[in-house]
Structure 1
């Protein structure tokens, strides 16, 4: 019998051979950075360096937060009680204000136990998905979509299933499209109206039809209502569970103060849904961020319960800018721009410009076209690839009137030269 050799203690033993060290988890490495934030950051950097860039990338109002909101925050900061931890799920005063606001604006009844206050709407989306999805669950995702949706779905272990609508339908998906995309693994519909990036708004009868279809199909619904007050031309944006009350036990509503009250930097959002789902999401938040900053929460109370006149003022300005932008974009040969009825975005198709020479260059994708606009016209836009539909551009009209006209005029001069 052969015996194994005895190691010589005088001879050093080489370390075991290991696979290449992985420095970042596969889950996080697969995340695509936010294209909208990246373009906005690049535009701001160029402006800081002296380049007169006009940015259409940022999805935030250019107005200051209402004065009474700021005053409430100042008073809150001076109260030592707000210098301490508070309940992870939100201050009782804010949860009660959200319940009252939801009934006032949507006709939807809820209780404070049905509300979780989050660090902006983005955290509300992520926590709702993490709470409702298991690995492999499919999520029907009307497309074009907000850039964060598919990443949040994947982080929760879910599988995004794009359901594409184009300019021919006004970017509105139909029940027929949703049903065709549904499988045995479909768990949830993610619904957003008014929509980012298109500004599309589903009429109430379509919202009802989609809600009843989801109910009959046994699906959950996550409905993002962050732009609910930014509607124009007689459009309305009713809440799906208010139109289909039977759906409320399988529906989570996401909202916040960022867009309506020009409070993007305050980071206050919320999710509202069945108490057991909210309790689970609250437990998740208790181990991640704990409570939202108390000063911001009390500023949000003032926004929701105080004078609402600033909302109408900002909406009127956005409506004026909307009409100006759409009219000017439609003057560019090869650009097709449906009229958005909500939010503060236009989403023109530029497919007819691709493959044609512009300023001595031929661009083949909307990403290349966005780069050309930044380099040659000093205009920052976001390419449709970021929203799941190549061949489009997203432009926000939440900037000053003069900058808006100057920026689109630069686009007209550059793109008007397309051969």
Structure 2
């Protein structure tokens, strides 16, 4: 008899982490792997943020437990950030800090989902959403965002998916993996639909500062007071501040839900590492010029690599507006190479070209692959050149 829980036996492995691990294993064997798998900036944490952490260590401030839901100073820094980039203020009881945005997504589902509750997820979607919902005995309901509509869903699609069990709409804009952004008009329509049916909005805003070529990120929580009251915002410092290793996330929303999430944090992880909290205070409330420097670098990479990838035979790609991923449709490419399964095709690319990509299957997109341009230009150009050579054979 198995000793493992039904919950873990039914859980899927993260395809992004699996692809990254496979690439690293092949690198360790001496192969020249060009890794475009993980959503991790290749920049190091800015010096002023590093210095804030060093100061916290040297003065002893980082040596002790903090309040489980986060340092008051960090909650104040979140408020400063929201005043600057969301256009409204938040109170301390509207903020909870946790061990990465990923864990706070889990804490949210644990706080609001009862067995059988449904969560609407537009596809393609980030790989962990569905399993986190299932882990909390909820039911993910997928609504396909088509390439014809720029990978965005409509109110009509959402209404067709709604049932009396629908409790949450999950909205990720800019999107991982597509990089597409919902505009003000689209968000207003979706937000008002959710309010009219008393559906919570979970807004994953982690890529909100990384937008390109004149596009603009509009937080759905900034549209109106009524939509804001229906919305829980998940954000963090990993992407915009090159702090993936620090694992700092935060959630902002109505006190009742934030209090419930804080209880879950208190009974699981306890407080986020203290030194990381002091670093995050500096990130959110200190100088922001390094964010713009990194954003411009990503924009340059996108504008350079996108047309090159579009020339790869069989690859059809929509130019993203934010985040740092390209998500080409490779249906024609698979047919050209004799594949019917995108995961098998992605594996073949790795084995034959030493380019590590991520299968779209884990994102609910069986005709796509994801590549990250959060790495240096030389690697990106070399990887696309290998893909073009492979597909030209």
Q: Please, what TM-score do these two structures have when normalized by structure 2?
A: 0.98
Instruction: Indicate whether 1:388 and 2:364 are aligned.
Output: yes
Q: Work out whether 1:296 is the aligned partner of 2:246.
A: no
CA contact (8 A) 2:68 2:262 kept: yes
Matched, 1:369 2:326: no
Q: Secondary structure at the match of 2:142?
A: strand
Q: Spell out, residue by residue over 1:143-190, the C-alpha distance to the aligned partner (whole angstroms, 9 max, x if none).
A: 000001001111111100011112211111111111111111111100
Distance 2:224 2:201 in 1: 12
Taking the aligned partners of 1:135 and 1:103, their CA distance within structure 2 comes to: 37
Describe how 1:129-168 pairs up with structure 2 within 5 A.
129-168=109-148
CA distance in 2, matches of 1:150, 1:71: 38
Are the counterparts in 1 of residues 314 and 336 from structure 2 also a CA contact under 8 Å?
no
Q: Which moved more, 1:387-396 or 1:323-332?
A: 323-332
RMSD: 1.0
1:379 aligns with 2:355: yes
Cα deviation, residue 84, structure 1? 1.3
Is 1:125 the equivalent of 2:105? yes
**Residue number in structure 1 paired with 2:392:** 416
1:221-253 deviation line (CA, Å, top 9, x unaligned): 100000000011111111112102202222110
What does residue 113 of structure 1 align with? 93
> Which of 230, 240, 249 pairs up with 1:260?
240
Query: What is the CA–CA distance in structure 2 between the aligned matches of 1:141 and 1:332, rounded to whole Å?
Result: 31
Cα deviations across residues 316-354 of structure 1 (Å, max 9, x unaligned)?
110111112211111012211000000000100001122
- CA distance in 2 between partners of 1:136 and 1:245 (Å): 29
Correspondence 1:8-407 to 2 at 5 A: 21-357=1-337, 362-407=338-383
How far the C-alpha of 1:126 sits from its partner, in A, is 0.5
Give how far 1:41 is off: 1.3
2: distance between equivalents of 1:416 and 1:198?
25
Partner Cα separation in structure 2 for residue 149 and residue 317 of structure 1: 29
Native 8 Å contact 2:182 2:218 kept in 1: no
Of 371-380 and 231-240, the range deviating more from structure 2: 231-240
Segment of structure 1 superposing worse, 331-340 or 291-300: 331-340
Q: 2-side partners of 1:392 and 1:215: how far apart?
A: 33
1:63 positional shift: 0.3
8 Å CA contact 2:178, 2:327 repeated in 1 = yes
Structure 1 runs of 4+ with >4 Å offset: none
| Higher-Rg member (1/2) | 1
Conservation of the 8 A alpha-carbon contact between 1:88 and 1:291: yes
Query: How far apart in 2 are the matches of 1:377 and 1:124?
Result: 37
Long gaps (5+) in structure 2? none
Aligned counterparts of 1:244 and 1:112: Cα–Cα separation in 2? 21
| Contact 1:351–1:391 (8 Å) recurs in 2 | yes
Number of the residue aligned with 1:6: none
* Matched-pair contact (CA < 8 Å) for 1:199–1:343: yes
| Mapped contact 1:203–1:235 kept (Cα < 8 A) | no
Once the two structures are superposed, residues 114-147 of structure 1 have per-residue CA deviations (whole angstroms, 9 ceiling, x without a partner) of 0000101101111011111111000010100000
8 Å contact from structure 1 (residues 258, 265) kept in 2 = yes
Q: Distance in 1 between matches of 2:234 and 2:59?
A: 30
Structure 1: segments with no counterpart, 5+ residues:
1-20
What's 1:15 paired with? none
